[in-house]
Amino acid sequence: MERLIVAYNWYLAAHVIFVIFWMAGLFMLPRYLVYHQEALAAGRAEEAALWVEREGKIRKIILSPAMIIVWLLGLTLATIGQHWAEPWLHAKLLFVLGLSGYHGWAVGYAKKLAANKPTLSGKTLRMLNEIPAVTAAVIVVLVIVKPF
C-alpha cells in the first residue's frame, strides 16, 4: 500500500507538471492565431509563414504531447486513487474534455490560417483566447475545493 501511495504522489506531480505545459500551450497558440490572422489581413505573407511554422512547433513539441500525457496520468490517478465515484471528478473530466475540444479547435483554426482561410474576426479570436483561463480556474476549484 505504501508503494502505491508513493507512486500516486509521483504520478500526481507529473500530472500537474504536464497540465502546466498543456495550459502554457493553450494560452500561447490562440495568441499566435491572433498575430497570424493580423499578418494575413495586412498582407504580410512572410510574417504569416513564420506564424505557421511557430504554430506547428508549439503544437508538435508542447501542446499535443502534453495533452496526451495529462489524459494518461489523470486516468491513472483516478484509478489508483479510486476517485471514479466522486462527483467532482466527473465535473472535472467534463471540463477537461471541453479543453481538449478547444485544443482541437485551435489546431484546426491554425490549419485554416495556414491555408489562408480565416473565418473569425480578430475580436472573436481574442475573446476565445480566454476560454483556457476560465476553464482552468473551474478545474482547480473542482479539484481543490471539491464542492460536491
Q: pTM, whole model, 2 decimals?
A: 0.93
Annotated binding site: 15, 92
Round to whole Å and give the CA distance between 131 and 34.
Answer: 14
What nine digits make up the cell of 115? 491555408
Question: Which residues have CB under 8 Å from 148's CB, separation 6+?
Answer: 87, 88, 91
3-class secondary-structure state, position 95: helix
pLDDT digits (tens, 9 = 90+) for 34-81: 999 999 999 999 999 999 999 999 999 999 999 999 999 999 999 999
Enumerate the known binding-site residues for heme: 15, 92
Query: What are 70-129's pLDDT values in tens digits?
Result: 999 999 999 999 999 999 999 999 999 999 999 999 999 999 999 999 999 999 999 999
Provide the domain limits for residue 105.
2-144
Number of domains present in the structure of the chain: 1
pLDDT at 5: 80
Cα 43 to Cα 1, 36, 40, 48, 119: the distances in Å are: 62, 11, 5, 9, 16
